[in-house]
Structure 1
Amino acid sequence: MKKIQLFLLISLSVNCLVFAQKPPNVVVFLVDDLRPVLGCYGNKVIKSPNIDALAKDGVKFNKAYAQQAICAPSRMSILTGMRPENIGIYSLFTPLRSVHKEIVTMPQLFKENGYVTVSLGKVYHHVSDDKESWSMLFPNEPNAYVKPENIAIADERKGNGPAFENAEVEDEAYKDGRVARDAVETLSKIKDDKFMMVVGLSKPHLPFNAPKKYWDLYNKDQFVVPNTKAPTNAGKYALTNWGELRNYAGIPQVGLLDDETAKTLMQGYYASVSYMDAQVGKVMKALDDLDLRKNTIVVFMSDHGWKLGEYGAWCKHTNFEIDVNVPLIISRESSYEKRKVNASSDALIENVDVFPTLAEACGLKTQELDGKSLVTLADNPKQCFHKAAYSVYPRGKNIMGFTCTDGKMRYTEWWDNKGNKLIENELYFNKQNYMKVSQNFAQSDKYQKDVERMKALLSVQFPNEERANYPQFDK
């Protein structure tokens, strides 16, 4: 009897210890316009030591996908765990809460469960969106200039100045440096609380403004301008005129960029990535210095990809692999007994999966979400997950592009929602360097079986009979 009592006492003590353990904290680095141009993803030119170190301390996902290649809808999708076609917002101009009061967002769920929720920098596209869900909401500053001549150009144009700047200043002279500073200071204030912090880093979004020391890591002549030809038979809806870049001073309104300008922009993009990487390092160091890393889950992710001159195009705004494939790294708290480090997964996953992942990892129950928790995959990175990853992109009010990949091919259908009919389709192979696909094989007799197979896969998520009925709340 004494042995039984002793066993029960020990069991009760262990259980009390487990239940008394503090739930994990969460830090999400949400980066803007970052394609997988990182050392940990195999790029030999980029200098990204801090993100590479994070990848070694967790699981790197090689086939992660955004649900739409534009900022506002993509971020809403991440923060709600819902797909853009179910939210009904596809543009930059409609805040989430202007049409959806009922959706429980990720910060809202964490706040309702006793977490201090912190938004720093660019998290939602609209900084005031969902503001009640944040315990601490820092402003999303504009991507401003430092050099007087560039400030003058921006003022004269009543908007964007040059597409890049490289002033000899400290990191905090530009926006992301201040975001990192505020994140470090905030961590020291909330270290005794359970918290969920989203660090919204704007680089490498245009303009490519970064301290000169990061530009000096690269020489523009080391960059090679990619093939500027659009894929053969790509169709008229496949690409855009990259108007986002054309809004900046010194960029031609029509036609291709000359090689010197293209190389300078490539150098600026890489410099901006290295600048952003340095800010990630500052926050990670603070987690270590404050002894928070042992109980903090860290996620590094991008809202969508970006083109650096491929197909003669720039920016995002397409359904090409290069615009929807994104880096995503999950590093569990260092005390987590199943945690995987220096691991890599080729499973198909989506940004919409992040919310349910963090909720499950922190023991929180969600409403029904479109995403699926990645906890089991993070614990066993070699297993399969989704059969396909899905994205959308509209062309105006009536044309919607629906796309999916099975990891080997990408299939896209451009659909007339008003007429409820297919306009054109695309089939590309994700072989070798998928960033440089050269031909649309959708009309090739040789690949019709592949077209039919991918068409069926696309219809799993986007049934033909439902495509004209997706909500659209854009103003």
Structure 2
Amino acid sequence: MKGLWIFVIVNILAISKGRKNVLFIVMDDLRPQLGAYNGPYFPGSGQSLMHTPNIDGLASKSLLLKRAYVQQALCSPSRASFMTGRRPDTTHVYDLYTYFRSVGGNFTTIPQYFKSKGYETAGMGKIYHPGVDSNNNDPLSWSMPYLRGDHNWEDKNHSWKGIPDSLLKDRPLIDKQIADHAINTLQHLAPAAKSGHKPFFLAVGFYRPHLPFVFPQSFIHNYPWSDVHVPDNQFAPRSMPTIAWTHSNELWSYQDIKDTKFTGDINTTLPHATVIKLRRAYYTSVSWVDSLIGNVLAELSRLGLDSNTVVSFVGDHGWKLGEHGAWAKHTNFNVDTHAPMMVKIPGMTDKGIVSEKLTEFVDLFPTLVEAAGVSPVPLCPENSATVSVCHEGQSLIPLIKNPNIAWKNASFSQYPRRHSHHDIMGYTITTDRYRYTEWVRFNKPTYKPDWNTVVDAELYDHQVDPNENINKVHYHSQSNIKMQLSQQLRAGWRDTLPSSAISHGFGR
């Protein structure tokens, strides 16, 4: 009997040693205005790079997805989606108040799945949207106590604030608290992980650059006033339907913005000086968090864990910095749905792999599972409400093995609105060249669109109009492409998957 137990333990350790740890890093409201994204898919035009040496360094050793899209450009719906690997019409989360387990199903999340496979799972900061919409950071996901952190310096009077560094020694900013806790947790997890006894899944969620933009004053030197510019397109797209618009209420809620008399109405803008101040503060917040990510990655290396740890990095969605005269997210504009995503896999991405294939944040779940060497997760069936473990994406690992492999030819996003006392959903498809959106009546009790009731539509040609300044949906010359995109949008995401993506799991 003793020999049998030794055999079992030895085999468990062998299996554990074959698995990689996972360091899962999320930044809030991060647009891909990073050095690694410089090129045709860089957000905006004529804008400077942000100073992010650590993120760019990580990208140089990762599978870098230059055309990754979130499924809804709002914190809670986006996070509920990529943390479960399911789209908003499956999670039924479209706002900041709804918990996916209460309305969608008792879906297994990424960390919960790793926990079920024998991993120690620890979370901190903003991984889920905190509060009722995650039942306070989804306790089922974690095997260790969760650290949320304390907001020491934020208030509703100031949309941005540089804090003298000397004042931060006794009252550190929340992201410093999170980075320090991540380092301490790595030190705690390292012995069991290195011995092969217990691999880990460590999720580190940074709050910045979410409003208010609060940072150590010393970091603002990275952005001289003369280097920061207003966007080239401080106006709404020509022929844009009003239902596509957002009034920038998130920014407007701060008193210093209210004092400017900014309304957020279509084709209204903030004063140029205010725009530059906000953009400069946003950039500085990003550089501040980049330095903290550098500290966490340095500790991973110092502990000898980097050679056996998958590192994923994402922003939960993009963010408007005055483009179209608007701010924050809350739309289907490309600048909101396009966000950074990269995955570093030791031994596979060491020299860096750049992909311009269309990818989606629901692809993250199956990717991390395969990268870590854990049992694969199947593709979800049409109705997965009672299926605890599945995904609605596509593992990105084939892009590492063969960057030219047949791939999905579209990504899908959506955003809800109220219009004439009705629920409306803006369904968006992004293809290699176009972004097409139909705003349709939405049946909330069934979570289904009524494709027969189209309120309005949008069509942007990214080849000639990458910043989406002209809605061409009513151009006679675009009628054929509009019809094709409409058919593809309504057919849905399953029809865009290559056969290789549905060979494992429930299929169509």
TM-score range for the pair, normalised by the shorter chain length: 0.7 to 0.9
Find the counterpart in structure 2 of residue 347 from structure 1: 357
- Describe the SS at the equivalent of 2:339: strand
CA contact (8 A) 1:410 1:428 kept: yes
Instruction: Give 1:68's aligned residue.
Output: 72
Residues 1:225 and 2:230 aligned together: yes
Aligned to 1:360: 370
In the alignment, the residues of structure 2 paired with residue 196 and residue 432 of structure 1 have an alpha-carbon distance, to the nearest angstrom, of 43
What's the offset of the Cα at 1:142? Answer: 5.5
Equivalent residue for 1:399?
A: 424
SS in 1 for 2:341: strand
The CA distance in 2 between the partners of 1:400 and 1:272, in whole Å, is 33
1:34-433 alignment to 2 at 5 Å? 34-42=30-38, 44-100=48-104, 102-126=106-130, 128-141=136-149, 143-145=151-153, 154=155, 160-169=156-165, 170=168, 173-191=172-190, 192=192, 193-226=198-231, 227-252=233-258, 253-254=262-263, 255-333=268-346, 336=347, 338-361=348-371, 362-366=373-377, 367-396=389-418, 398-417=423-442, 420-431=452-463
Extract unaligned runs of 5+ from structure 2: 1-10, 43-47, 193-197, 378-388, 444-449, 495-508
Corresponding residue SS for 2:470: coil
Identity %: 36
Deviation of the 1:384 alpha carbon? 4.0
**One-letter amino acid of the structure 2 residue matched with residue 185 of structure 1:** N
Q: CA deviation at 1:18?
A: 7.0
Residue 30 of structure 2 aligns to a residue whose secondary structure is: coil
Alpha carbons of structure 1 residues 214 and 444: separation in structure 2 relative to 1, 3 Å: same
The one-letter code of the counterpart of 1:201 is: F
Per-residue CA shift, 1:330-355, capped at 9, x if unaligned? 1102xx3x435222101111001101
Aligned-residue offset at 1:319 = 0.4
Change in CA separation of 1:84 and 1:380 when aligned onto 2, cut-off 3 Å: same
**How far does the alpha carbon of each residue in 1:24-65 deviate from its partner, in whole angstroms, 9 at most, with x for none?**
000111111111011111174311000111011112111000
Gaps spanning 5+ residues in structure 1: where? 1-14, 146-150, 155-159, 464-475
Q: Helix, strand or coil for the counterpart of 1:73?
A: helix
Contact 1:59–1:381 (CA<8 Å) still a contact in 2? no
Q: Deviations over 1:242-264 (max 9, x none)?
A: 10000112113514211111100
Q: How many angstroms does 1:95 deviate by?
A: 2.1
Name the stretch that deviates more: 451-460 or 315-324. 451-460
Q: Report the TM-score when normalising by structure 2.
A: 0.81
Measure how far apart 1:20 and its partner are.
Answer: 6.5
CA distance in 2, matches of 1:176, 1:381: 35
Offset, 1:16: 11
Deviation by residue 1:275-298 (Cα, 9 ceiling, x = unmatched):
111111011101100000010000
Q: Is the 8 A contact 2:234 2:324 kept in 1?
A: yes
Superposed structure 1 runs of 4+ greater than 4 Å apart: 15-20
Equivalent-residue separation in structure 1 for 2:149 and 2:252 (angstroms): 22
Q: Per-residue CA shift, 1:220-246, capped at 9, x if unaligned?
A: 332221221111011011121010000
Deviation at 1:462, TM superposition (A): 7.3
Quick one: distance in 2 between partners of 1:432 and 1:203?
33
| Aligned counterparts of 1:433 and 1:195: Cα–Cα separation in 2 | 44
Instruction: Please say if residues 348 and 384 of structure 1, whose CA atoms lie closer than 8 Å, have aligned partners that are also in contact.
Output: no
Mapped contact 1:347–1:383 kept (Cα < 8 A): no
C-alpha separation between the residues in 2 aligned to 1:144 and 1:37? Answer: 28
Q: How far apart in 2 are the matches of 1:394 and 1:209?
A: 30
Over 3 Å counting, the alpha-carbon distance change for 1:272 and 1:80 in structure 2 is: same
Q: CA 1:184–1:432 in structure 2 vs 1: closer, same or farther (change >3 Å)?
A: farther
Q: CA deviation at 1:137?
A: 3.6
- Once the two structures are overlaid, the 10-residue window that deviates more, 414-423 or 303-312, is 414-423
Q: Which residue of 2 aligns with 1:5?
A: none
Instruction: Tell me how large the CA RMSD over aligned residues is.
Output: 2.1
Counterpart secondary structure, 1:251: helix
TM-score of the pair, normalised by structure 1: 0.87
Equivalent residue number for residue 29 of structure 2: 33
CA distance in 1, matches of 2:281, 2:234: 19
Q: Cα gap change, 1:47/1:96 in structure 2, threshold over 3 Å: closer, same or farther?
A: same
